[in-house]
Amino acid sequence: MGALVGTGEHDGDGSTVDDDVPTPGMVRREVEASPALNAMRAKVLGALFPESAAPERFGRYVVLDTLGEGGMGTVLRAFDLELDRPVAIKVLHGHLGEKHTARLKREAQAMAKLSHPNVVQVYEVGQVDGQTFVAMELVKGKTPKQWMEQEPRPDWKACVRMFLQLGEGLAAAHTRGLIHRDFKPGNAIVDDEGRARVLDFGLARRGGVDNDDEPDTGGVPIPVQRARSDQQQVVSLDLALTKTGAILGTPAYMPLEQMQGREADARSDQFSFCVSLYEAVYGERPYEGGTFAALMASMHGAQVRPVPKGSKAPAALRKILLRGL
């Protein structure tokens, strides 16, 4: 999935709702009982969307435009008519199949119970006309990948500060038994105030849940089975890979055991986190390899790249990253 881009509000403090603060149900009743408010909204929507271009609806959410598309589905910018807030809507592709869609719904429901300042908040999971959607917090900002590529390039201290926030978000998910399985610089977002959030838990699964919707590869990585040339293997390293609905993650950031088709756990996310932080600090990933097979060989032999010349990052940081790998 692409990054969630837009504007939105999120307090993320996990506090409970006071008795004198309207709950979503109270707001819903007020909306239904206020013709003037409904008329005002209808007027605004009429100005935004002429009759010739009626907006698409997902229940109470009015679609404004498309933000991006990925292997799991399409991400839309929308507006919640009942709670008066912008949201992102992730509409799952129909080809995923009932079993996989049901699992993704369970994971989104689990994420909806997680409120943390460093995780993009999931608001609701629903289904309209056979289409499954996930409504979530809409955040304006850059992915860490975009943030790292800006000029002047952030120094190692700034990189560590930003990734520590993402680490807090991953740790919070792990306490709920949720494993991301595809953490990388493109699956997070940093808002304009410097607050970082992990996103795209659409590839996540519950730790300990049977993995019976994934194919038996006999220990042979699916990307290797699918590749027909070295060039295809090169392309696959930075792409999230799937087969028959099974999400494998992105090879360039995956631990060796995940590449080999074995079960991912919190340590897998730790590895992906350390690869991502290493790339942010040193400007390159720790393991060399232009093809999938070469990358696996480099990882198997623990052949970590030497520190680039001119790096100002302390040796202690490198030791920490190597331990995490």
**Residues 29-48: what's their mean pLDDT?**
57
Which residues are designated catalytic? 182
Whether the pLDDT of residue 209 is over 50: the answer is no
In the block, which residue shows the tokens 């838990």? 201
Sheet holding 131-137, edge to edge: 57-58, 61-69, 73-80, 85-92, 131-137, 122-128
275 pLDDT band, cuts 50/70/90, is very high
Encode pLDDT of 67-99 as tens digits.
Answer: 988 767 889 999 999 999 999 998 888 777 777
Whether the pLDDT of residue 231 is over 80: the answer is no
The Cα–Cα gap between 111 and 121 comes to 8
Half-sphere exposure of 252 (CA within 13 A, CB side): 20
Query: What is the reported pTM?
Result: 0.73
Q: What is the pLDDT of residue 127?
A: 86
222 pLDDT band, cuts 50/70/90, is very low
Whether residue 279 contacts residue 296, with contact meaning beta carbons closer than 8 Å, is answered with no
Task: Tell me the β-bridge partners of 137.
Answer: 87
Q: What is the pLDDT of residue 211?
A: 44
Whether the pLDDT of residue 205 is over 60: the answer is no
Which one has a higher pLDDT value, 138 or 54? Answer: 138
Encode pLDDT of 276-291 as tens digits.
Answer: 999 999 999 999 988 8
Encode pLDDT of 293-323 as tens digits.
Answer: 899 999 988 899 999 999 999 999 999 999 9
Q: What is the pLDDT of residue 37?
A: 64
The Cα–Cα gap between 7 and 139 comes to 5
Q: What is the pLDDT of residue 181?
A: 87
Query: Is residue 240 classed as helix, strand or coil in its secondary structure?
Result: coil
Mean residue pLDDT of the chain comes to: 77
Whether the pLDDT of residue 216 is over 70: the answer is no
**Residues 247-258: what's their mean pLDDT?**
82
Whether residue 131 contacts residue 94, with contact meaning beta carbons closer than 8 Å, is answered with yes
197 φ/ψ angles, rounded to the nearest 5 degrees: -135, 140
The Cα–Cα gap between 94 and 178 comes to 24
Query: What is the set of domains in the chain, with CATH numbers?
Result: 141-324 (1.10.510.10)
Q: What is the pLDDT of residue 31?
A: 43
